[in-house]
A and B are shown apart, each in its own frame.
Chain A
Amino acid sequence: MNGVIDISLISMITVFLMLAFPIILFIINKINIFKEFIIAILRMTIQLVVIGFLLQYLFKLNFLWLTTIWFLLMIFVADYNVIKRTKINIKGFLFINYLSIFIGVTIILGLILIVIIKPKPFWDAKYLIPLAGMLTGNSMNANSLAIERFYKTILNNKKEYYSYLSLGATIEEASHKFIVESYKASLLPTIATMTTVGIVSLPGMMTGQILGGSTPLVAIKYQIMIMIAIFTVNSISSLLILLFSRKMLISKNGIIIEK
């Protein structure tokens, strides 16, 4: 592998100078989004610089315990983001969401590292951290969609749910429709991405690998693997969060618990 061409610090200045284009366009068109725009650019830069240094050390040290802590922390951030995004404020939700992301990501990541890529050691931070990051990030999105849809549909269709319950349906039967609908909603974006991948644009991971010196044929193998892995993780974690949420939202007598 030939390393990727580094960008010099001077060139990085040019990178930021590119922003002159949007700034001029905003001024001409009197579009007042400077505050959001500047915050976003600053956050992006600071976050990436920090993460760049952290990853540099994590990869170099490559301690199992350190990588594990990083992995667990990453899931916590994803978990917390789901709560923030969905605004679901139920005791214990942080825990069940953590658990469902953790289970989905760990199973598939283990499979990739131990059986498929087999780096030495299999927990090599250089492989584990980026892969775990991609899986966790996608699982976070899927879980947000799943539970957002589930709470919305079941609360908006309480009448339908209770109509089944009052005929003698079990909780599982009466809520099945809502679970299925939410599960589908959580998986659809990944399905859509898989359908168009490569046609509209090259995915970031593949672009990065090609720029990094991999041949396109190696890059697509990784891309295929990661897409299938993402889909599989999502299929596990969003189903788990739906089943856990149902347990929390509905009492054992079938009554929807409202705060």
Chain B
Amino acid sequence: MSLFSFNKIYVEKNNSILFSFDQLNIYPGDKVVIIGLSGIGKTTLLKLFNGMEFPQKGEVLYKGENIFNKNLFLLRRNVIFVEQEPFLNGPTVKDFFYYIKNFSAYKNFLIDEKEIFNLLKLFSLDYISFDRKIDSLSGGEKQRLALIRAILLKPEVLLLDEPTSALDKKNTEVVINNILKSNFVNTIISVSHNLSWIKNCNVEIEIAKKTINIQKRDL
């Protein structure tokens, strides 16, 4: 059964059509990448998955239920979105990881520091200490920290907007290995321009001519 299904979607921005399509199904375990020219609606399509954007017509189903009929906030806890240039609250790295305790969705969530250290190591960030100031981090470090936190929260789906845009080649491979080739999070839906990232996704959605083309392949 599909995890997400989109039916008869029509999306407009500023009163003109952005894209429309009949059907899109995403299955558990899919690694999806959305591609297309800038300004064509990639991020908008990505945000349809967690209700940060909504279609003017059509419906978005998650596990068979219209996402706007269920608790959208609970959905967002399980379908975590990471922005291209993520906002990291501080002042320190430790505060960043612990901030989620302010949210009722994580009332019973235990933060495992050992797991954080493991993830930091996996993402080549083991030199970053808990008391490091967020303001002193580079864009690439922030991007990876945001990914680490998203993984740590064990969502069912990750929505990633240009997850490697601030990374060099080496760190891009590190992120690909830990996100696309590992099973920290089962289903990944992303927007990317990076060829290596795209190559490691099994579903490619291209937005062009105000609609989408879906290509599936075996990895």
Contact = CB atoms under 8 A, between A and B. Distances in A.
B77 A159 contact: no
Contacts of A173: 102-104
Interface stretch (B83-91, B125-133, B181-189, B191-199): B83-91
Contact of A167 (B51, B68, B72, B100): B100
B105 A168 contact: yes
Contact of B103 (A160, A164, A253): A164
A254 B81 contact: no
A168 B68 contact: no
Interface residues on B, range: 20 to 34
A254 B50 contact: no
B83 A163 contact: yes
Contact of B54 (A163, A168, A169, A253): A253
B80 to A, nearest CB: 6
B73 A254 contact: yes
Nearest to A166: B81
Contact of B153 (A162, A167, A170, A254): A167
A167 B80 contact: yes
A176 interface: yes
Contacts of A165: 52, 73, 76
A168 B83 contact: no
Nearest to B85: A159
Nearest to B47: A166
Interface residues on A, range: 10 to 19
B102 A176 contact: yes
Interface in A61-109: none
Contact of A253 (B68, B74, B77, B159): B68
B73 A166 contact: no
A167 B89 CA distance: 13
Nearest to A252: B72
B70 to A, nearest CB: 11
A255 B52 contact: yes
B78 interface: yes
Contacts of B51: 253-254
A179 B159 CA distance: 28
Contacts of B105: 167-170
- Interface-centre pick from B52, B72, B76, B102 (highest chain A CB count, 10 A): B76
B52 A168 contact: no
A168 B106 CA distance: 9
Contacts of B50: 166
Nearest to A165: B76
Contact of B72 (A160, A162, A176, A253): A253
Nearest to B67: A253
Contacts of A159: 83, 87
B155 to A, nearest CB: 9
Contact of A168 (B73, B86, B159): B73
Nearest to A159: B87
A176 B153 CA distance: 21
A254 B54 CA distance: 12
Interface in A106-155: none
A168 B87 contact: no
B46 to A, nearest CB: 11
10 contacts: A162-B83, A166-B82, A167-B76, A167-B153, A168-B77, A168-B106, A169-B102, A170-B104, A176-B102, A253-B54
Interface of B: 50-52, 54, 68, 72-74, 76-78, 80-83, 86-89, 100, 102-106, 153, 159
Return the 9 tightest CB-CB contacts between A and B, nearest first: A168-B77, A166-B81, A168-B105, A163-B87, A169-B103, A168-B76, A159-B87, A160-B87, A173-B103
